[in-house]
Amino acid sequence: METGIQALLAPLVVSIVALILMMQIAFKRHAIVSWLLGCTGFILAILALKPMADIVPKMVTPLLLSDQYSLFFSALILFSGLITTLLAKDYLQNRRGENEEFYLLLLLSSLGAMILVSATHVASFLLGMELLGVALYALIAYPERGQLPLEAAIKYLILSGAASAILLFGFALIYAVLGTLSFVGIGQALTQPILEDQQLLILLGTAMVFTGIGFKLSLVPFHMWTPDVYQGAPVPVTGFLATVSKGAIFAALLRLFIDAELYQYQGLMLSLSVLAIASMLAGNLLALKQDNLKRILAYSSIAHIGYLFITLIVYGVLQQPGLAVEAATFYLSAYIITSLAAFSLLSIISSNISETDLDDISHIQGLFWRQPMLALMLTIALLSLAGIPLTVGFIGKFYIFTAGIEGSLWVLLAALIIGSGISIYYYLRIVFQMTMKEPAGGSGAANMDPNSVRLSVLSKFVVWLLIFMMLYLGVLPQTLMEYLGGLSL
């Protein structure tokens, strides 16, 4: 039992700190104390990963598995949570309302994500996903003022609820036929002969499961909610949603996919290919002439999920399937770091000046002339999203490309290339806007007195760290690549 606790130390730390934080809020509200507690929780949990690493892999109950893979993603989740917490302080300070619960919700949401990446069983999978999701609903609706956050939260609540119900129903159908809910068990049972009429149930169940997961990952055609929710949520939450929520669910999907050996079913692979191609094209096309920065990033996230699905599809075709896992994990890490940087910068630009988020492309017009550093950093983040060399985004895309070529998935690669080509347009359009001279008498970050945009030491530290990581991993990716190559699933 003791090793069981050790193997789940990080989630336990997060749970305990969440409880303490809850009590603190109940007794005496104090924003700074809550913020400090939130930071402490994330930092302690990151430190707790070290003793966990000593005893992995370790199965704790049939539900959870602590292994290198789950540890790596836990670290990414906790890192993203910490960054979000650090940035949220500045962001919330300039807005009215009580901020303490924000940090509590972040902790709980991250806890859900960590359970998700350790899940080896449908029960823990659902548990993690719901914990992650329910906390997110509240986070999205967190700002008291403004209609958009509330609208976004309600949309996400209803649609996500529906998606979860479909997912659950799908698993129920599968359980009805196979009689097992563990990932490995499902895979084994699927290889046994199945009666003709029961095959239909399996088929329906699979379709429903992928509908549910596709919704959470905003895969076309389940992507409709994405721009509205991204736009409505406060920027730090959007960043959290884009990185932690999507990342954890994809990591869990990858485990389910490999444990249950789903890659051997041609029909499923074909369906996923269709969805991936649709995502790559539709996501990029939707972003093409979009003027809202958060919506651009939302659409681009749809395309990125499309790219990521190539790694799932190629897994079964490769002679060394390890390459697919490496590509997926590297791409996901790259995407998380880059998205965090982009949203952090948007959050910084927004947090100093106005009550509402400054997320229209006109708001950053001429930013380069007033805040060259911020503009340069945003440019680097956008270039990384576009996959330009010497940024981490390039290495990630190159990885997927190599995996795709090894697996001869030409149609998917064509979609990847066309999609990337289109994406250059809207990423560079933002850069172009930043270098333009500002309009006379317009309203935006550029028109404020440059001295009014004060970066706190904290925000500076956060964005510098993220930019450094993006460039470092773009120039020296080998350490991370070797580490990810050693992750076994």
Partner 1 sequence: MLQNIWLIPLLPFVSSVLLILTAGRLPRRLIAIMGAGSVGLSALIVLAVGMQFMELQTPYSLTLWVWMQVGNFAPGFSFYIDQLTVVMLSVITGVGFLIHLYSTEFMQDDSDYSRYFAYMNMFVAAMLILVMADNLLLLYLGWEGVGVCSYLLVGFWYKDPVNGAASRKAFVVTRVGDTAMALGLFLLFTELGTLQIQPMLEAANSRWVTGDTIPAIAALLLLGGAVGKSAQLPLHTWLPDAMAGPTPVSALIHAATMVTAGVYLIARTHGLFLLAPDVLMLVALVGLFTLLLAAFTALNQTDIKRILAYSTISQIGYMFLALGVGAWSAGIFHLMTHAFFKALLFLGAGAVVHCLHHEQNIFKMGGLRSKLPIVFWSFLIGSAALAALPFTSGFFSKDQILLSAFELHGTTGISLWIGPWLWAGGLVGAILTAIYSFRLVFIVFYGEAKTEPDRQPGWRMAAPLSLLCILSLIGGYFVLPLASVFPTVAQHQVSHLVEGISISIPLIGVLIAWLVYYKHSLPVEGFTESSLGKALRNFWYSGWAMDKLYDTIIVKPYTGTANAMRGEWLDRIYHGIVSLCQGSHALLSRTQGGKMRWYATSMVFGLIILVTLLGWVS
Contact 209, 279 (CB under 8 A): no
Minimum CB–partner distance for residue 227 and partner 1 (Å): 6
Integer-rounded Cα radius of gyration of the chain: 22
Q: Is 33 in the site for partner 1 (CB under 8 A)?
A: no
| Residue (113 or 166) nearer to partner 1, CB | 166
Among 360, 398, 420, 436, binds partner 1 (CB under 8 A): 398
Residue numbers 407-466 binding partner 1 by CB under 8 A: 422
Which span sits near partner 1 by CB under 8 A: 38-46, 82-90, 127-135, 151-159? 151-159
**Least Å distance between CB 307 and partner 1?**
16
Pick out residues in 279-298 that bind partner 1 (CB under 8 A): 281-282, 285-286, 288-289
Q: What are phi and psi of 87, to 5 degrees?
A: -75, -30
366 vs 353: CA distance, rounded Å? 16
Q: How far apart are CA 224 and CA 420, in angstroms?
A: 21
**Residues 6 or more apart in contact with residue 227 via CB below 8 angstroms:** 286, 292, 294, 295, 298, 299
Q: Are 463 and 380 in contact (CB under 8 A)?
A: no
49 vs 484 by CB, closer to partner 1: 484
Q: C-alpha dihedral over 343, 349, 351, 357, to 10 degrees?
A: -70
Minimum Å distance from CB 476 to partner 1? 6
Within 8 A by CB and 6+ apart from 173, the residues are 201, 202, 204, 205, 208
Q: Identify residues 176-215 at the interface with partner 1 (CB under 8 A).
A: 199-200, 203-204, 206-208, 210-211, 214-215
Q: Residues with Cβ < 8 Å from 264, sequence gap 6 or more? A: 316
Of 126, 297, 395, 416, the one binding partner 1 (CB under 8 A) is 395
How crowded is residue 28: how many other Cβ atoms within 10 Å of its Cβ? 9
- Cα separation of 371 and 450, whole Å? 7
Q: Whole-number minimum distance, CB 134 to partner 1, in Å?
A: 19
Q: How far apart are CA 142 and CA 232, in angstroms?
A: 10
Among 149, 187, 227, 236, binds partner 1 (CB under 8 A): 227
Size of site (CB under 8 A) for partner 1: 51
Under the criterion CB under 8 A, does residue 470 sit at the interface with partner 1?
A: no
Element (H, E) at 394: helix 392-406
Residue of 32, 53, 162, 458 interacting with partner 1 (CB under 8 A): 162
| φ/ψ of residue 292, rounded to 5 | -95, 125
Residue 443 Cβ, how far from partner 1 at the closest point, in Å? 24
Residues 304, 310, 311: CA angle, nearest 5 degrees: 105
Nearer to partner 1, 31 or 159 (CB): 159
Give the integer Cα–Cα distance in Å for 92 and 85.
10
Q: Least CB distance from residue 216 to partner 1, whole Å?
A: 12
Stretch that binds partner 1, among 104-112, 122-130, 235-243, 269-277 (CB under 8 A): 269-277
Stretch 312-331 residues interacting with partner 1 (CB under 8 A) = 323
Binding site for partner 1 (CB under 8 A): 155, 158-159, 162-163, 166, 199-200, 203-204, 206-208, 210-211, 214-215, 220-222, 224-225, 227-228, 265-268, 270-271, 274-275, 281-282, 285-286, 288-289, 323, 372, 395, 398-399, 402, 406, 422, 475-478, 481
